[in-house]
Amino acid sequence: MKIEQYISQLLYRHQCVTVPGFGAFLTEIQSAHLHENTHSFYPPKKLISFNSHLKNNDGLLANHIALFEKTSYENAVGSIESEVVIWKSILEVNERFTLKNVGELYLNSEKNLVFTPSENINYLKESFGLNSFVSPAVKREVYKQEVEVLEETAPIAFTPEKRKARPYLKYAAIFVLALTAAGTIGFKVNQNHVAEQTLLVETAVQKQVQDKIQEATFMIENPMPSVTLTVKEEKLDYHIVAGFFRNEENAKKMYDELIAAGFKARRTGPNRHKNFPVFYGSYASYSEAQQAMKQIHKSTNKDAWILVKEL
């Protein structure tokens, strides 16, 4: 079984995909960025990294394989273990191998596992249809420098013009200033009169408007119907498994014990294998479920695992 295709599918929806016994592929969102030297624009994307220390089975990959291969969870776990053995054998012989659409793994000189992510696929769903592109630099003409050069090479000289004195112009200017002053005074008087008349008209109009408002009666003939808001129920698709029971009475007994212990336990009807599942609790996100599972591993059951399924 080639499980890299299932790893690739899960990277679109999850931040962490763990391969039990081998390591985990982690994703981190990188914002859109510009490469100034090449004038290249790149859309937002998910950066993939690898951590060889995260090897515990969180159930995500095995449940996904069991769902698509239509097999049991135990068979899916066995298939993953077989694939991991093949990967390790290839690394011992060739010191490198490639996971399609995920990246390349190889051993460095110190025999440490190094991962190089693939650049073929952008796993950020919000960037679907966005590709990188190159935009040529904008060429701007600098006119200021050309003008400065022109002024230096061809300076402009101004020569004052000599004019004959004309004494009669002085008396004409005095006459014009007198007419202007008289006109200004008359204009101000007329302007004040117009302002007074405008104020009287505005006052009368405002009084009529206020009278009409006081006489008016407002009534809504067809009121809008009341609006009923429906709050969308939060989906809880991540479940921490306490056990699967052939006998429904045993499942109910386990459920009652978990409730008494303070857990928000759940149990459902029989699955397709006629087993009755009991869960420590159900959560809206994988991170919440994983945090709760760590506490359960420490205090109650180290074999608890996460089931990803819409119930």
Instruction: Decide if 224 is inside a domain.
Output: no
Nearest to 103 by CA among 33, 179, 186, 8: 8
Q: Which of 134, 164, 187 is the endpoint of a domain?
A: 134
Tokens of 4: 């890299």
Domain-ending residue, one of 134, 163, 185: 134
Residue 150 domain-assigned?
no
Residue 245 confidence (pLDDT) above 70: yes
Asked if the model's pLDDT at residue 45 lies above 80, the reply is: no
Q: What is the mean pLDDT of residues 68-79?
A: 92
Q: Is residue 206 part of a domain?
A: no
Of 309 and 146, the structure prediction assigns the larger pLDDT to 309
Q: What's the pLDDT tens digit per position in 88-103?
A: 999 888 888 898 888 8
- Whether 128 and 10 share a structural domain: yes
Query: Does position 5 have pLDDT exceeding 50, yes or no?
Result: yes
Name the nearest CA neighbour of 26 among 86, 102, 120.
102
Residue 23 lies in a domain: yes
Q: What is the mean pLDDT of residues 281-307?
A: 88
Q: Is residue 184 part of a domain?
A: no
| pLDDT, mean over the chain | 77
- 306 strand-pairing partners: 240
| Whether pLDDT at 218 is above 50 | no
CATH number at residue 243: 3.30.70
- Dist CA 212 CA 119 (whole Å): 73
State the total domains in the chain.
2
pLDDT at residue 81, rounded to an integer: 93
> The whole model's pTM is what?
0.41
Does the pLDDT value for residue 228 go beyond 50? yes
18 lies in some domain? yes
For 112-139, what is the mean pLDDT? 71
Domain assignment of residue 103, given as a range: 4-134
Q: Which of 66, 60, 63, 54 is nearest to 21 (CA)?
A: 54
In a domain, 17, yes or no: yes
Q: Looking at residue 78, what is its pLDDT?
A: 92
Identify which has the larger pLDDT, 179 or 30: 30
Question: Under 8 Å CB-to-CB from 283, ≥6 apart: which residues?
Answer: 236, 238, 239, 240, 289, 292
Residue that finishes a domain, picked among 76, 108, 134: 134
| Mean pLDDT in residue range 6-31 | 89
Greater confidence (165 vs 310) lies with 310
Query: Which position has the higher pLDDT, 64 or 187?
Result: 64
- Asked whether residue 211 is domain-assigned, the answer is no
**Averaged pLDDT for residues 265-292:** 88
